[in-house]
Amino acid sequence: MKKVFFLWAILLLVSGGSAMAQAQSSHYKAAETLLLTMGSPKTIDDNLQQMLTMQMEQVPAMKAAELEVRSFFSKYMNWDAIKGDLIKLYMDEFTEKELKDMNTFYQTPTGKKLATKQSTITMKSAQIGQAKVEPHMMELQQAIQQKMQGDN
């Protein structure tokens, strides 16, 4: 009797684990599909190139090694290198149903437009933030300096 119960318990655990793996893989697939639908591989590459171009402009000394810098980041920050981490991030933040709902949206004309404009919106948003803060950097530097000197 104990052997039958033990065998039944093992079968239950194995089948439960298998169902859980199937649920995870469908969740994984939903996240991967969404990222592909949003055009993430191209967006990642475009953003990387824009970031590197900005870095080259801000630190002209890097220009001498531009080819090496671009090659390095293309090697370690490409879609294949970060795909698994991004899929996990989306799986952690969204349920499978939410991912599927978003995928449905990104397949609409409006969703497709948002996907193509997202990089531009992000870059322009950062520029807006920088433009708002930049004129007041002296104030921040003074506050930091006072704090470090012990003046309150």
Percent above pLDDT 90 for the chain: 47
The mean pLDDT value for 111-124 works out to 89
Helix boundaries (H) for 107-136? 109-133
Model confidence, pTM: 0.69
Q: How confident is the model at residue 151 (pLDDT cuts 50, 70, 90)?
A: low
Cα within 13 Å of Cα(27), Cβ side: 15
Q: How confident is the model at residue 62 (pLDDT cuts 50, 70, 90)?
A: confident
Query: pLDDT tens digit string along 78-107?
Result: 999 999 999 999 999 999 999 999 999 999
